[in-house]
């Protein structure tokens, strides 16, 4: 029995993070995103970008897993498309978590992407500074004469 949704003309920008099982094959990952793209397009939406963040350590284990593969995307879709995406991804055993966030519709999606990349760059710079300070402390401890 297929669920039918009323297709609305209210297309909004969304940001999505999908956490996939680390053992999922590349072919299965492609199928997941092809299915998402077809759902979005069937509701008159469009996919702007999909990025792979790679395997990362999970803050909290999911089904006894310590790592997972992260994917980040921006797209335009209707609220009905989000319902269908979450339903189809919820059925897939290789998808561990999904988070869709509605973005400000007054701002073009390109501006959201630009702002995100700026924030990401700042975060990487802060991490590099912290790592440099830690390295300097390690060097100081190693060169400090022992009594």
Q: Where are the domains of the chain?
A: 12-106, 107-147
The β-bridge partners of 56 are 68
Residue-level pLDDT at 70: 92
pLDDT by 10-residue block (mean), the chain, 147 residues: 61 92 91 91 90 88 90 92 92 92 87 84 88 90 72
Residue-level pLDDT at 81: 92
Residue-level pLDDT at 1: 54
Residue-level pLDDT at 143: 76
Residue-level pLDDT at 133: 93
Kindly report the pTM of this predicted structure: 0.73
Residue-level pLDDT at 84: 93
List own/partner pairs for 84-91 with CB under 8 A and 24 or more apart: 84/3, 84/5, 84/39, 84/43, 85/16, 85/36, 85/39, 85/40, 87/3, 88/35, 88/36, 88/39, 89/18, 89/32, 89/36
Residue-level pLDDT at 52: 87
Pick the CATH number of 12-106 from 2.60.120.1600, 3.30.390.50, 3.30.70.60, 3.60.21.10: 3.30.70.60
């Amino acid at each position: 029995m297929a669920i039918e949704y009323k297709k609305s003309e209210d297309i909004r920008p969304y940001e999505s993070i999908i956490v996939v099982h680390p053992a999922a094959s590349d072919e299965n990952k492609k199928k997941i995103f092809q299915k998402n793209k077809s759902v979005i397009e069937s509701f008159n939406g469009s996919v702007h970008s999909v990025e792979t963040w790679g395997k990362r350590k999970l803050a909290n284990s999911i089904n006894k897993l310590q790592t997972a593969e992260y994917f980040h995307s921006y797209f335009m879709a209707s609220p009905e498309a989000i319902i269908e995406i979450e339903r189809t991804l919820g059925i897939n055993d290789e998808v561990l978590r999904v988070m869709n966030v509605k973005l400000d519709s007054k701002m073009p999606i390109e501006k959201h992407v630009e702002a995100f990349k700026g924030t990401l760059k700042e975060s990487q710079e802060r991490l590099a500074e912290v790592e440099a300070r830690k390295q300097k402390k390690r060097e100081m401890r190693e060169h400090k004469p022992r009594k």
